[in-house]
């Protein structure tokens, strides 16, 4: 495995996007994680306790993209490890996915202060890690959990929830973020209907 030089970059020194992705992909998944753990490219590293890289299968059929680590995720380094994680687990169960079928990561690897939304500049700075993860894990379907994931992954598109589209060679589907299901129970049935309508994407 080719090693990457870990650069102690200055704030917002995001570097050349394509070049970073290419180097990360060539270096392999372990280096992606190691680079993200050492990264100081955007200001979010200052308030992060642990980097939250991703969890799940190394050969997933489905990759979920969330927004950003929250308090529990920041403490444990594990994505979707709190209340929203329990909702995601239920969603995955409803989808009929087994452990080997899915992976989840966020648009940024560090927790934004006060759980605010990550800024566009922070998402852009962290995006090479996400794109390298997608390239290396090569899921068949990407499920974007909410608007932030949509804006991060396909900013030039406006997706309709529950309606799959092809994007950069794979299917993508936008659904509600599991946290939205905690605060608005009526969205649970809507989310289930979106899942039912799209089961053939992963079954």
Interface residues with ligand SF4 (CB under 6 A) are 36, 39-42, 44-45, 51, 108-110, 122, 125-126
45 vs 192, beta carbon nearer ligand SF4: 45
40 vs 76, beta carbon nearer ligand SF4: 40
Helix segments in the chain, DSSP class H: 17-27, 29-38, 71-76, 83-95, 120-137, 147-153, 178-183, 186-197
172, two tokens: 């993508």
Residue 85 beta carbon to ligand SF4: minimum distance, rounded to whole angstroms: 19
Residue 5 beta carbon to ligand SF4: minimum distance, rounded to whole angstroms: 15
d(CA 169, CA 23): 21
Sign of CA dihedral 116, 120, 122, 126: positive
Contact 108, 149 (CB under 8 A): no
Radius of gyration in angstroms for the set of CA atoms belonging to the chain, rounded to a whole number? 16
16 vs 203, beta carbon nearer ligand SF4: 16
Residue 127 beta carbon to ligand SF4: minimum distance, rounded to whole angstroms: 8
Residue 174 beta carbon to ligand SF4: minimum distance, rounded to whole angstroms: 22
C-alpha neighbours within 13 Å on the C-beta side of residue 131: 19
108 vs 143, beta carbon nearer ligand SF4: 108
């Amino acid at each position: 495995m080719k090693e990457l030089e870990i650069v102690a970059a200055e704030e917002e020194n995001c570097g050349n996007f394509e070049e970073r992705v290419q180097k990360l992909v060539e270096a392999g998944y372990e280096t992606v994680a190691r680079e993200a753990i050492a990264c100081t490219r955007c200001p979010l590293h200052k308030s992060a306790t642990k980097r939250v890289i991703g969890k799940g299968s190394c050969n997933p059929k489905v990759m979920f993209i969330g927004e950003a680590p929250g308090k529990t995720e920041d403490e444990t380094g594990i994505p979707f490890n709190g209340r929203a994680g329990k909702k995601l687990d239920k969603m995955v169960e409803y989808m009929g996915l087994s452990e080997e079928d899915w992976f989840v990561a966020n648009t940024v690897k560090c927790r934004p202060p006060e759980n605010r939304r990550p800024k566009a500049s922070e998402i852009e700075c962290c995006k090479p890690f996400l794109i390298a993860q997608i390239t290396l894990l090569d899921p068949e379907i990407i499920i974007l959990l909410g608007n932030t994931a949509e804006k991060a992954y396909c900013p030039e598109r406006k997706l309709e929830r529950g309606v799959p589209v092809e994007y950069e060679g794979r299917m993508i589907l936008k659904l509600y973020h599991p946290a939205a299901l905690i605060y608005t129970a009526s969205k649970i049935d809507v989310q289930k209907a979106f899942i039912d309508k799209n089961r053939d994407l992963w079954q």
